[in-house]
Amino acid sequence: MKKKNSWYDITNKGGKAEIFIYDEIGYWGITAKQFIKDLKQVKDADSVTLRINSPGGSITDGNAIYNAIKALKVEVAVQIDSLAASMATVIALAGNSVKMAENGFFMIHNPHGGAYGESKDLKTMADLMDKMKTNILNVYAKKSGKETDEISDMMDDVTWMTAQEALDEGFIDEITDEVVIENSFDMKNLEKIPAQLVQNAGVSPVASANSKTPEEDEIMTVKVKKEPQPQDEKPEGVVDQDAVKAKFIAEETQRKTDIKAVFVPFQGEHEKLMNKCLDDMKCDEQSARDLLLKALGKGVVPIAGTAGAQVVEDQSEKFIKGVTAALSARAGLEKDDTANELRGYTQFEMARLCLERNGISTAGMDKMVLVGRALMPANSMHSTSDFANALKNTAHKSMLKGYDEAEETFQLWTTKGTLSDFKVADRIDLNLFGELEKVPEGGEYHYGTIGDRGEQVQLATFGKMFSITRQAIINDDLRVFTQIPRRMGRAAIRTVGNLVYLQLTSNPVMGDGTVLFHADHKNLAAVGAAPSTATFDAARVAMGTQKDPDGKATLNIRPAYAIVPLALLGTSNVVVGSETEIKANQNNSKIPNSVQGMVEVISDSRLDDASAFSWYMAANQNMHDTVEVSYLDGNSTPTLEQQSNWSIDGVDFKVRLDAAVKPLEYRTMYKNPGQ
C-alpha cells in the first residue's frame, strides 16, 4: 500500500475518521494546539484510524497529543506505516490497538533538552528531564508489561526495533504488510539509525547494537523528498507553515508568560506545578489558576506512624487563618507573610477558592452568585462558611486596631471590673475597717461590718451594625476592612469613655441618696476657682480628711490625678510643674510651690462640653475605689458577630460591647466647679 501525504491530515468521512501524522511533533511540524483543534472533526466518528510516520519531536506537544487521543470516546486503531521514533512512539501507544508495517521501525530513547542560566536553572532542567522520562516509562511499561528498569536501560541505549522486535517486546500488537512512504521530515538528527534507513535516507551511518544489515532484513523503501508543489497552489488543508510557526511562537510565549504571572506571588513555592502547566499546551492562564487554587486548598495529612497523640490543625481553620492573614496584610493590618500561599489573592479569588475546597464547581458561575454561595454555610444552615469566617476575622482585627489606637484617657484613673451576667450586682463600699481594735488578754475579736452600704452596677449592651456587600468583594474594595470596622472599634471604646466622663459631669445619685459631688459628701468646693496652688492644696486637704462611713477613722486619701478640661490643661500643668507658688493673676511669686508634682494631670475634651471651668481630683485607683468600668466576663474589647442577610447582597456584621460604668466611692473624688 502506498499513501501520499505531505505532512499531516485529519479526515472524517461517513463516520470513519483517519488521522495522518507524517511529520515531526511540535514547532517544526505538528503542534499540539493545531492537532487538538483539528481533532474536533472526529468527535462524532464511529471509528478512528491513526497512521504514523514520524521521527518524534517535542515532549510537551507529544504528551498533549497523546492525552487528546486517549480522551476520544471511540476505539482508536494505530497503524505505524514506516517510522515511530522518540515521542511518536508515545503517541502510537495512545491507541487501543497498535499495528506496524513489516518494514517499519520503532525507536525509543531518553528525553533531550537544554537550558541556559545559573546552576539552579540547569538543575531544574535536569529534574524536568527525569520527570519526563518517568512519564514516558509509565506509558511504555503499561503497554509492554515490562519493568520500568528494563525499559529505562533500553532508552539509555537508544534502542531501534524492527516490527518483529517491537512485537516481541510487547510495544505493538500486530505486523502488517510493507508500506512505501513519502516523508516530509529530515532524519539526520536521529541517533544510531539502522543501516536499512541509512542508504535510503541519505544520512551518515552510526553503529548500533541492534541495527541489522540489509542482507539480514528486507530493505524498507523510504523516500525523503516531498512531491514538488506548484508555487501558486497549496494542497487542500495545508497552511502556510511559516505563518503557523510564527503564530505558534507568539501564542505559546504569551501562554507561558500568563501562567508564570499566576505563580509570581508565591516565589517558587509551587514551581513543580508551574512547570507542569507550562509543559501542558492545553493549559492556559485560567486552567493554571484553577490548578493552583486546588493545590492551595489541599490540607496537610498527618504522617503515619507518629508516636503519641498529636493535635493537628483543622484544614478549615488553616485555610481561614491563611485568608485572614493575606487580607490583613493587604489591608495594612499586619506584616506581609511571604510564606503565605494566599498573599496577593483578591477577595473574589479567595471566595472562589473556598468553594473549590468544598467540592463546589465554579465553572461558568456568575460572580454575584459565586460570592453569595461562598458566604453561605458549606454544610449546615446553622454554621458559617470558611470565607465568611475569614472576612469576619479580618474585620475583627481592623476593629481591634481602631479600639487600641483610640486616644482615650479614662483607663488612666478608673478600675476594670468583671460581671458574669446582666443582673444587678452589689459593690460593697470602701469598708469599715477604719482601724483595728485593741484586744485585751483573753478577750474576743470583733467583726468589722462590710457590705451593708455600697453601690449597685448592671451591664448594658452597646452596639451597631455594618455590611460588606458582594459588590465590595468583587471590586476587591479593602476599605471595608480598613475604615468601617476600624471606626467601629474607635466608636466602641469612645462609648465607654463617654459613659465614664458622664459620671463626672452628670453628678449621679449614689447609693446613699445623695449626688456624687455634694457638700454633705465634703467633696465639693464651696467656692469655685481656677487651678492654683491654693485650690489644689484645698482639694488635697478635703480628700485627706475624709472619714469612714461611721465618722470614726480619718482615711488619709491622697489625690493622684487632676482631671481637667482641655481649656485648663496648660494652667494645671503649670500648677503642678512650677517650683514657685501659682496664684490667680500672679506669675512672679517667689514662694515655694507646695503642690509641685502632687498629681498627674489628665485632660479630656468631653469635660469641655459640659464646662470649660470645672475640674476634678481622683485618688489612686489601685488603692481606692473610684469609678469602675465593668465588662461581661472581663472582656473589655468589643465583639464582632456576622450573619448572611436576605435583605442585602452580602453579609451583616454586628459590633457589640457589654459594659457598665459606676462611681463606687465619693470620698475618693473631688470637684471644683471653677469660675
Distance of CA 352 to the CA centre of its chain: 12
Whether 530 contacts 571, CB under 8 Å? yes
- The SS3 call for residue 585 is coil
**If you search the block for the grid coordinates 475618693, which residue do you land on?**
668
Largest CA distance in the chain: 136
Residues near 461 by Cβ (< 8 Å), separated by ≥ 6?
A: 656, 657, 658
- The SS3 call for residue 587 is coil
Residues near 279 by Cβ (< 8 Å), separated by ≥ 6?
A: 59, 60, 63, 128, 132
- The SS3 call for residue 42 is helix
Among 319, 272, 321, 275, smallest CA distance to 300 is for: 319
> In terms of DSSP bridges, do strands 627-632 and 600-603 run parallel, antiparallel, or are they unpaired?
unpaired
Would you say the C-alpha torsion 128, 133, 136, 142 has a positive or negative sign? negative
Q: For this structure, is 86 an active site residue?
A: yes
517 DSSP 8-state letter: S
Instruction: Write out the three cell numbers for 509.
Output: 445619685
How far, in Å, CA of 665 to CA of 646, rounded?
A: 49
Q: Which amino acid is at 94?
A: A
Would you say the C-alpha torsion 266, 268, 273, 276 has a positive or negative sign? positive
Instruction: Write out the three cell numbers for 203.
Output: 544520512
Instruction: Write out the three cell numbers for 247.
Output: 503564530
- The SS3 call for residue 19 is strand
Whether 525 contacts 506, CB under 8 Å? no
How far, in Å, CA of 57 to CA of 574, rounded?
A: 90
Q: Which residues of 628-666 are buried (b: 16+ CB within 10 A; e: fewer)?
A: bbbbbeeebebbbebebeeeebbbebebebbbbbbbbbb
How far, in Å, CA of 110 to CA of 108, rounded?
A: 7
Instruction: Write out the three cell numbers for 540.
Output: 488635697
SS3 sequence of 177-189: CCCEEECCCCCCC
Q: Which of 6, 54, 82, 86 is catalytic?
A: 86
| Planar angle of CA 546, 552, 557, nearest 5 degrees | 25
Q: Which amino acid is at 455?
A: E
Residues near 113 by Cβ (< 8 Å), separated by ≥ 6?
A: 59, 125, 128, 129, 132
What are the CA-CA distances from residue 226 to residues 1, 7, 22 (Å)?
18, 9, 11
Q: Which of 6, 58, 82, 109 is catalytic?
A: 109
Among 505, 501, 495, smallest CA distance to 636 is for: 495
Catalytic residues: 86, 109
